[in-house]
Amino acid sequence: MANKKIILTGDRPTGPLHIGHYIGSLANRVKLQDMYKQYVLIADMQALTDNYDNPQKVRDNILQVALDYLAVGIDPQKSTIFIQSMIPQIAELAIIYLNLVTVSRLKRNPTVKTEIKQRGFGENVPAGFLIYPVHQAADITVVKGTLVPVGDDQLPLIEQANEIVRTFNRIYNCSVLKEAEAMISPVSRLTGIDGKAKMSKSLGNALFLSDPADVVVKKVMSMYTDPDHLRASDPGKIEGNVVFTYLDAFDADKDQVQEMKEHYQRGGLGDVVVKKRLIEVLNNLLEPMRNRRADYAKDPAAVMKILFEGTDRTREVAEQTMKEVRAAMCLDYR
């Protein structure tokens, strides 16, 4: 593993993970763990930036996110899963980085600007939320991550992290920190089942990896299609039709999907038929995950042990990074 790239990825523990997470990143993580030295971060400190008044929610969801990771096939023997708040070196490194970034630069970050607007903070944005790109830079660099899987909307965060790395190495005349490369997901964020916005736990339009089969049926049957497709005989539209968006993402039989699209567009194919196809595809995908999740959920203590062991391994790496950082900054007093 010594010569392989170090990959850093993760999620905020604010609720169960949904199929948008799977198609956007989780499936890739399962593949990448055989190719790289992979760290998977459970970002509880970052989750507190907008859940500071409900820390129990964050704590409770650490186990749920871990169960989702294990259910999709992330192997703790191949990937190191760790809890962010249990690595104090991340916070120490973030404090150091804050001296290298201006407030105006943080406010210009497109990702931060968008998320501040989405949450309606206005001028009352918490300082911790404003500086999360700096904290994320610490997440990446504390394990010397060189590859970070992200969506297009997260590219400004990687750019800012690399700016910090270059500034640090220039000011302290060293090469301690490494720049990271963004790995763009081949699939864009999934639309919610309502067709109105991206899939999100908070918007109530998500289909979760842990949803039982009957819930998948209920959610798919409620999916947004073509409001003008009133009868099966009517020609239907594919654009903006959430069911076909999901079939494109999850159905491995692309020829059949294309045939269904053409049939739907010329008329003679009802929404129920298309939805039943999607239900079959999704439940075939999710069933083995549900089974693995149920097995791991029988022993929560064993799951937490996996997290604690991964956190201990990460802390050793993080402390070595901080020794090099402190030496470069003449802070190695002992």
Query: Domain spans of the chain?
Result: 6-190+300-328, 213-293
31's CB contacts (< 8 A; 6+ apart) are: none
Contacts 24+ apart (CB under 8 A), 217-226: 217/279, 219/193, 220/193, 220/275, 220/278, 220/279, 220/282, 221/272, 221/275, 221/279, 222/193, 223/193, 223/195, 223/275, 223/278, 224/193, 224/194, 224/195, 224/196, 225/271, 225/274, 225/275, 226/271
> Residue 181's beta-bridge partner residues?
147
Question: Band of the pLDDT at 2, cuts 50, 70, 90?
Answer: very low
pLDDT tens-digit map of 17-26: 999 888 878 8
More confident residue, 79 or 230: 79
Q: What number is the average pLDDT over the span 71-78?
A: 96
Question: Per DSSP, which regions of the chain are E strands?
Answer: 6-11, 37-42, 79-83, 147-150, 181-184
201, pLDDT greater than 80: no
Q: What is the structure's pLDDT at 1?
A: 41
What CATH number has the domain spanning 6-190+300-328? Answer: 3.40.50.620
Judged by DSSP in three states, 160 sits in: helix
| pLDDT digit string, tens, across residues 250-309 | 999 999 999 999 999 999 999 999 999 999 999 999 999 999 999 999 999 999 999 999
Contact call for residues 52 and 85 (beta carbons, < 8 A): no
Topology of domain 213-293 in CATH is: Tyrosyl-Transfer RNA Synthetase (1.10.240)
The pLDDT value given to residue 191: 87
Side chain identity, residue 330: C
pLDDT interval class at 165 (50, 70, 90): very high
Query: Is 213-293 the same fold as 6-190+300-328?
Result: no
pTM comes to: 0.89
Q: Whose CA is closest to 244, among 189, 284, 190, 206?
A: 190
| Token reading at 36 | 């790289």
